[in-house]
Structure 1
Amino acid sequence: MPTVDTPPGTGSARPVETQAEMATRRFVEVASRIEPIAESQCDRLTRGQNCDYLIVVDDRPGQEANAFQTLDAQGRPIIAFNLALIASVQNADELAFVMAHESAHHILGHLAKVEEDAAIAAVIFSGVAEMSGASAADVRSAQELGASVGARTFSKEYELEADQMGTVLTIMAGYDPVRGADFFLRLPDPGDRFMGSHPSNAARRTIVQRTAAAYRATN
């Protein structure tokens, strides 16, 4: 890690370096505990699905805090965090919950479901436009609109499902998902907007609390 030169006596370089080192250690430790739990549950709950998770850091500067799940060309699940999100979490429980939430999306097959929802809606919207005599350009626009609407139709439900499974994965890895869900308190609340992609922060914290209580009562 490069050292920032500062004038003698300022003492400002070391605290910044220490904070970065702390964030790095926390990320590595959390990933080392969440990844095997996610992989074991993926193997247990799915059939024929690639469960060899790869957790990566997107180090491009200037991005808004974000984490997401995707697949590489071979179908391997990728969990990506950017630097802004890693810096924004206040403790290991928050980082663990976000990591478990993204891991749960893969176990639950949400990427494929979103693609299917988008494809069905695109066909419906473009078909209606075509039957109404719309131009080729308007049919394409309707198809694009349908794909966008379809991708969002069940997105709130998928997010809550991932919160629920992520809660269990977080507990299994030895972290506290209720404390981890405090991360939502610092996010802009999407509320309950029509066709919004995420449920309200209150709804998400509630399902985490209920799931954690139910799991702990039976395990």
Structure 2
Amino acid sequence: MTLISPARLLRPLVACVLALLVAGCDLPQTGDTQPGTPARLGSEAAARQFALVVQTVEPEIERYCRARRADGRCAFRIAIDHRRRSAPNAFQTLDENGQPVLIFTLALIADMRNPDELAFVMAHEASHHILDHLGQQRRYAEQGAREYAEIAARSGASKSAVRRASAMGAAFTARSYSKQFELQADALGTRIAFTAGYDPLIGAQYFTRIPDPGEEFLGSHPPNSERMATVRQALASM
């Protein structure tokens, strides 16, 4: 894992990302066949694109964060997962001090076809922290665990059965809110990307190049059509 502080110096950031991309030269290809699909960028262009988007989007992310969070946990850091076999992915987590970290795999950086896509993904992941989705998910999981355990205990279940019920309650309750969180992050991410100077509608076209989760029961992500509608609605409300 390579951490990149939100430095304003462009050249060192480009060099760092480029070195990682070149080292990961066997990145998987998506094999796009749909007409009109933007071409994959070369390593140098992808590195420069990533660095430019970090430079322009990260200040907006912090500005939105400080306006919405009272705890001051808005010192975002960017991390690159340089494992060459990692699938295209981006996610938000916290460091040991509770500060937000946005993690991008090399495969995702290489698969971003334009800066609007990358800016939207970055703003979306940051929105999970700004909206405290990790904290909410933890609280919902704890509540679900307690409720399921209490029901099992009242029914006379064994201790092991109560533990299983508690684990199931935590997983079910946390997962039941995941689609809602994704749409909330899409809406706020749209606003952040737009104010940073990018087109969220173009950025959200990335959804058309990934599998559509559809209406999968207990799926973690909403249908792509619903996500696109959320982006359009957020733009219309600005």
**TM-score, normalization by structure 1:** 0.88
Could you tell me how far apart the structure 2 residues matched to 1:124 and 1:194 are?
Answer: 21
CA shift for structure 1 position 210 = 1.8
- Contact 2:125–2:185 (CA<8 Å) still a contact in 1? yes
Larger Rg: 1
Q: Distance in 2 between the 1:95 and 1:57 partners? A: 14
State the match for 2:218 in structure 1: 195
For 1:163, give the aligned amino acid: D
Whole-Å Cα distance in 2 between the matches of residues 88 and 20 of structure 1? 10
Matches within 5 A, 1:70-219: 70-215=93-238
Q: What displacement does 1:195 show?
A: 1.8
Q: How many residues align?
A: 202
> Given that residues 117 and 153 in structure 1 are in contact (C-alpha distance below 8 angstroms), is that contact kept between their aligned partners in structure 2?
no
Tell me which protein shows more helix as a share of its residues: 1
SS of the residue 1:44 aligns to:
helix
Pair 1:29-2:70 in alignment: no
- 1:49 is displaced (CA, Å) by 3.3
Cα displacement (A) at 1:59: 0.6
Q: Assess if the C-alpha contact under 8 Å between 2:145 and 2:170 holds in 1.
A: yes
Structure 2 residue aligned with 1:19:
42
Q: What is the CA–CA distance in structure 1 between the aligned matches of 2:237 and 2:175, rounded to whole Å? A: 29
CA separation in 1, counterparts of 2:107 and 2:156? 48
Q: Aligned partner of 1:90: which letter?
A: R
Amino acid at match of 1:62: R
In structure 2, distance between residues paired with 1:185 and 1:139: 43
Moved more, 110-119 or 60-69: 60-69
Per-residue deviation at 1:22?
1.2
| 1:194 Cα deviation after fit | 2.5
Residues 46/175 of structure 1: CA separation in 2 closer, same or farther (3 Å cut): same
Shift of 1:160: 0.5
Deviation, structure 1 residue 80: 0.5
In 1, distance between residues paired with 2:72 and 2:174? 22
Following superposition, the deviation at residue 65 of structure 1 comes to 1.1
Q: Report the CA distance between 1:213 and its aligned residue.
A: 2.7
**Any idea what SS the aligned residue of 1:56 has?**
strand
161-170 vs 53-62, greater mean Cα deviation: 53-62
Residues 30-71 of structure 1: per-residue CA shift (max 9 Å, x gap): 011111001011111221231110011111121111100111
**TM-score, normalization: structure 2?**
0.81
- Whole-angstrom CA distance in 2 between matches of 1:49 and 1:108: 13
d(CA) in 2 for partners of 1:190, 1:179: 20
RMSD: 1.6
Selected match of 1:52 from 63, 70, 75? 75
- Percent identity reads 44
2:88 to 65, 68, 72: 65
Unaligned 5+ runs, structure 2: 1-18, 24-40
Unaligned runs of 5+ in 1: 5-17
Letter in 2 for 1:28: A
Measured after TM superposition, the shift of residue 100 of structure 1 is: 0.2
Secondary structure of the structure 1 residue equivalent to 2:165:
helix
